[in-house]
């Protein structure tokens, strides 16, 4: 596409209505436009930037770190548009702050889920790259989310999420008047058997697009639905996940500063000690990994 064909209006990106300088490099991504103000109300400084369609952007400061929050709307197509335009105005690190339905019995409403990867049941990411390309979260963003969740003492799970393009039939829920294709119910059973933790609608597209464009992305979601028991509480865990996401941005910023001081491209645990090991020393701390085994019973 020629530069002149890029969809900008008055120097701003068409959908998010932001220009370079409006958005910080670190961006929180809720789906719900109303959640932008809820998130930015936890910061020390807030500046309204834009509101256009489902995309509401605030920029501000949390514990000395400049950050932004842009709502993405629901689903892969909508978050892919947000990402395209956020990259164009200078963002590089993204944390989805969303809600989810748990499909494993040991996960309770109000718990938080940090996605280490996502099953690509979306359509948008397929327009970017072949389906065999993995949707996996950035290791630094994921580790920062775990670090923040530990520091705040909230209950969280780490594992693989399924990102669907539909809240109802795409997540094994009957549609209007009980309509449900057979594969809808079967897919839920199969995903549960494979140890997938939860259903939501944006993580896969986020992980794929951010990775292709050289950015970093992670996702934390609050469990508002427990699909086994049928429990549903639309706001459960949301305040906790906002606190974790804010803190994770602060942690990532600290790690990024340390990396640049030490001339390193990647974060590794012993970077936090005053003299990181050189050569072949075994690191003293292991990265948290997902030790969950697939559940035999579904
Ligand atoms: N969001 C989803 O996509 N699914 C749920 O069950 C709850 C929130």
* Atom number in ligand 1 closest to CA 101: 6
pTM: 0.92
What digits encode the pLDDT tens for the residues 156-204? 999 999 999 999 999 999 999 999 999 999 999 999 999 999 999 999 9
Give catalytic residues, as residue numbers: 15, 85, 173, 227
Percent of all residues in the chain with a pLDDT value above 70, rounded to a whole number: 90
Q: How much is the pLDDT for 7?
A: 87
DSSP annotation of 282 reads P
Percent of all residues in the chain with a pLDDT value above 90, rounded to a whole number: 89
CA of 13 to the centre of ligand 1 (A): 29
What digits encode the pLDDT tens for the residues 9-36? 999 999 999 999 999 999 999 999 999 9
Residues framing ligand 1 (Cβ under 6 A): 99-101, 167, 171, 199-201, 224-225
Q: How far is CA 86 from CA 82, 175, 210, 283, in A?
A: 6, 34, 10, 36
* Atom number in ligand 1 closest to CA 173: 6
Q: Which CATH number fits domain 3-174+183-272: 3.40.50.300, 3.40.50.1580, 3.30.300.30, 3.30.465.10?
A: 3.40.50.1580
CA of 15 to the centre of ligand 1 (A): 24
**Mean pLDDT over each residue of the chain, to the nearest integer:** 93
What digits encode the pLDDT tens for the residues 248-293? 999 999 999 999 999 999 999 999 986 655 655 444 444 444 434 3
Q: How much is the pLDDT for 6?
A: 80
Task: Report whether 125 contacts 249 (CB < 8 A).
Answer: no
């Amino acid at each position: 596409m020629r530069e002149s064909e890029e969809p900008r209006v008055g120097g701003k990106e068409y959908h998010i209505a932001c220009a370079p300088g409006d958005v910080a490099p670190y961006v929180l991504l809720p789906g719900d436009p109303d959640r932008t103000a809820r998130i930015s109300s936890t910061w020390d400084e807030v500046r309204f930037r834009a509101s256009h369609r489902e995309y509401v952007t605030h920029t501000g400061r949390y514990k000395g770190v400049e950050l932004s929050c842009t709502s993405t709307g629901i689903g892969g197509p909508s978050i892919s548009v947000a990402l395209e335009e956020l990259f164009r105005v200078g963002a590089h690190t993204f944390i989805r702050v969303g809600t989810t339905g748990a499909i494993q019995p040991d996960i309770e409403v109000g718990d938080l889920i940090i996605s280490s990867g996502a099953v690509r049941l979306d359509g948008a990411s397929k327009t970017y790259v072949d389906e065999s390309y993995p949707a996996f979260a950035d290791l630094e963003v994921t580790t920062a989310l775990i670090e923040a969740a530990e520091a705040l003492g909230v209950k969280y799970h780490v594992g693989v999420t399924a990102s669907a393009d539909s809240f109802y039939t795409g997540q094994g829920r009957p549609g209007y008047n009980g309509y449900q294709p057979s594969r809808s119910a079967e897919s839920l059973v199969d995903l549960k058997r494979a140890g997938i933790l939860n259903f939501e609608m944006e993580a896969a597209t986020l992980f794929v697009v951010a990775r292709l464009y050289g950015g970093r992305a992670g996702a934390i979601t609050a469990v508002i639905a427990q699909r086994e028991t049928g429990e549903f509480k639309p706001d459960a865990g949301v305040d906790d996940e906002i606190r974790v996401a804010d803190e994770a941005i602060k942690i990532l910023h600290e790690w990024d500063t340390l990396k640049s001081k030490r001339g390193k491209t990647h974060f590794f645990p012993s970077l936090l000690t005053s003299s990181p090991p050189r050569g072949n020393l075994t690191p003293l701390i292991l990265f948290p990994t997902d030790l969950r085994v697939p559940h035999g019973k579904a």
